[in-house]
Amino acid sequence: MSPLTTRLFLGVALILACVGAVLSVQAAATGSEGAWGALAGVLAVVTSVVSAWGAQRVVELEEDKLSPYVYPQALVQKHEVTIGPWGRARAEVRR
């Protein structure tokens, strides 16, 4: 799944949870019995969405770090020259 799709789903879940929180507070103001339980559930969803958003960012950074970094390189061995792209992970290129 692309990062944009994941962020879109997380954003929609956050918006729906905020709407649920507003409705739960309104229901609690009218004296509904299950409103506080619903509000606790909605706040748990908001907390999990915020946590998943941060975790998704960490996953994206790690994927970018491990993506191949292809660069041109010339190999010279016994009077023969070979030119072509060779890939290495970015973590291997750093010194």
Instruction: Write out the residue range of the structural domain in which residue 40 sits.
Output: 3-67
Average pLDDT (39-55) is 93
Inside any domain, residue 28 = yes
Does residue 16 sit within a domain? yes
- Number of structural domains the chain divides into: 1
Specify if 86 maps to a domain: no
Q: Which has the higher per-residue pLDDT, 9 or 95?
A: 9
3-state secondary structure the chain: CCHHHHHHHHHHHHHHHHHHHHHHHHHHHHCCCCHHHHHHHHHHHHHHHHHHHHHHHHHHHHHHHHCEEEEEEEEEECCEEEEEEEEEEHHHHCC
Residue at 75 is within a domain? no
pLDDT at 66: 84
Instruction: Say yes or no to pLDDT of 69 above 90.
Output: no
72 located within any domain: no
- Token pair belonging to 23: 């409705």
- Average pLDDT score over residue span 52-68: 88
Cβ distance 21 to 39 under 8 Å?
Answer: yes
